[in-house]
Every structure is written in structure tokens, then in C-alpha cells.
Amino acid sequence: MKKFFALLLALVMSLSLVACGGGDDATTDDTTDDATNEETGGETTNDYKISVVLKTLSSEYWGYVKAGCDAAAAELGVEVSVVGPGAESDIEGQVAQIEQQIGAGCDAIICAPNDAGAAANALQAALDQGIPVLSVDTDVGIEGQTTFVGTSNVDAAYEGGKWAIGQAGDGAKAVIIYGQEGDNTSNMRREGYQKACDEAGVEVLAALSGQNTTDGATKTMEDMLSAHPGEIDIVLCHNDDTAIGAMNACKNAGVSDVIIVGFDGNASAVDLILAGDLIKATVAQQPYEMGYQAVEAAVEVLNGGTVESVINAPVEVVTAENGQAYLDNLASMQG
């Protein structure tokens, strides 16, 4: 019935336009717009091309970010290309991908930089062409950037550190395995962990890079265990791959009385937590939501709208108590 009245109104308007000397073309355009809004609830599809350059596509976490980007593309009716180098350490490879995406032509570009400075230099070409630049997960921080969609890594790591310290009790000593040297996200997570330890009077015996990989973290943890035998109570890790590496090193050394905290909320890490393994918690970001929100923000800007300069994504500390509920929610987001 509603559609009938809309069509009747359009007919009346067309007759009115004819009487006033208006053309049939204007009438046809108005009717098409009304039908489109009626069928899609106000959302219209378009041919925007949005490029997304992530840190890598070879990890579970970044797969969730990509899934969110893809879901937004399907629901908002835009074309989204998601790429990433083989490893987060491949700074030059990511820069090349940024340049390729801009050169191929895109209406907006979203980036999670492996190195903010290197990425900013490459993304400047997009800004020079009037192409919106957005950051996701890790802030590029380039002047003229549209928005940053992500987590406060300092605050998130701080919460993970506080939880671990609460479990370990008085007199605990910790180590920090951070990520890639010079990476801004790594620096912020390390800062958050350190802040939690400093406030609680927990001594940080060492802070070393695990290179963002399981193998790298295994070697780093082996070195820490050798340097501080029997002293380490808490291991605060840059991501879940790092936490798994630390766990492997502890098991190989016969160490079982440590609390390992990961970061990212990967399902593989939560499974280990629920199984009662050495990883006791992971600081869970919402990578799916971040990917979705980043594409959504790009579309909003391309449609002439505005977005906040920072779009915050919440976090939670996932433990054995809430791990299953977290996994169930993760599964529902993936469909």
C-alpha cells in the first residue's frame, strides 16, 4: 500500500511538472530514487573501489579483519580489494602493495602499517590525488588522514597486565615479549604492560622482541629462561602467536608455573586457554568489527559524509571463565 501511494504521488508530481513545462526526464529520476530507497531502506549501491592493505594475510587475526572488510563490502555494495605481505616484518613488500593499489586506481585506501613512517610516505601519493586515507588497527598518523579505526593498545595491554598480576599475587616478576622493533603497535602494547607492572610494583626482568612470530618468540623465551632461571612468573606477549611461542619454550624447558598472556583474541589461543594450558588469557580486540567499521567509514566519506577522527574498538580480557562465550560470538560473526 505504501508503495502504491508513492507511485500515485510520483504520477501527480509528473503531471504537475508537465503543466509547468517540466520534462519527462526529471520525473523518471525522482521515481527511480524513491524506488531505490524503498527497496534498500535508504542504502544505495555504487561502484566505489576501496583498497585495504593489511600487515599480512598469513595469520588468523588478520583473517578476521579481512572477513569484516568483505562483509562490509557485500552489505554496502562496494568493491573491496584486501591484500597484505607474507609477514609483518616485510615493510618493503607492504609499501610496494600500497603503491600498486594506488597506481591501479582506488577511491579510498585503508592501511594497517607495518612501519608507520614507510607507509605514510607511500600513502602521501593517495592524499595528493584527493584519495581518502584511513588507518585500521595501527595508526599511520599521516597528516590529512580521514580516521583511525582501532584499539587503544596502551589501555588494552594495561588491562591484560593487570589481570595477570592479580592472578600471580605479590612478589611476582614478569618479562615482556614485544613485537617488531620500531613498530608503533608493539611500542604501545609494551608501554601498557610496563605501566601495569610499574603500578603494581612488579619487576620486569627483561623486555625483548619476538619478531611477531611463534618461532621468534620461542627463541626469545628460551633466552629469557636461561637468563632468569626460576624467576619468571608472568609472560606478557605482543600477540597470540608470540604467546604460543613462549608456551612452547616453557614446555620444552619443563617450566609449568608461569602465567602467559597473549593479545588479539585468536580462536587458537582461546582453545588453549580453555584446555588449561600455560596461556591463561588473551587481550581480545574485535578485528572483524574493525575491518567492517573501516570500510563503512570509507563509504561514508565517499558519500560526502563525515566521520570521527578516531573510531575506538573495545577490548576484553578472555580467560577460562568467558572463553567459550567469546568463541561462540566469534563463530556467529563469521557466519
More confident residue, 9 or 191: 191
**Residue 312 pLDDT class (50, 70, 90 cuts):** confident
- Whether residues 135 and 184 fall in one domain: no
| Domain extent at residue 308 | 49-151+287-313
* Domain assignment of residue 10, yes or no: no
- Whether residues 158 and 276 fall in one domain: yes
- Whether residues 234 and 248 fall in one domain: yes
* Domain assignment of residue 125, yes or no: yes
* Domain assignment of residue 89, yes or no: yes
- Whether residues 219 and 266 fall in one domain: yes
- Whether residues 126 and 162 fall in one domain: no
- Whether residues 263 and 302 fall in one domain: no
Structurally, how many domains does the chain consist of?
A: 2
* Domain assignment of residue 8, yes or no: no
| pLDDT above 90: percentage of residues in the chain | 76
Nearest Cα residue to 220 out of 183, 191, 181: 181
Whichever domain contains 247, its CATH number is 3.40.50.2300
- Angle, CA of 141, 146 and 148, to the nearest 5°: 55
pLDDT for 332 beyond 80: no
- Whether residues 207 and 134 fall in one domain: no
Please state the pTM of the whole predicted model.
0.67
pLDDT for 170 beyond 60: yes
How far is Cα 138 from Cα 141, in angstroms, rounded to an integer? 9
- Whether residues 228 and 274 fall in one domain: yes
Quick count: other Cβ atoms within 10 Å of Cβ 91?
Answer: 20
Nearest Cα residue to 106 out of 73, 79, 142, 146: 79
Query: Is residue 216 within 8 Å of residue 246, measured between CB atoms?
Result: no
pLDDT of 314: 81
- Whether residues 145 and 291 fall in one domain: yes
How far is Cα 214 from Cα 247, in angstroms, rounded to an integer? 10
pLDDT of 33: 36
* Domain assignment of residue 98, yes or no: yes
* Domain assignment of residue 185, yes or no: yes
* Domain assignment of residue 107, yes or no: yes
* Domain assignment of residue 15, yes or no: no
**Residue 330 pLDDT class (50, 70, 90 cuts):** confident
Least reliable range by pLDDT among 29-33, 47-51, 66-70, 269-273: 29-33
Q: 301: burial class by Cβ within 10 Å (0-12, 13-18, 19+)?
A: middle
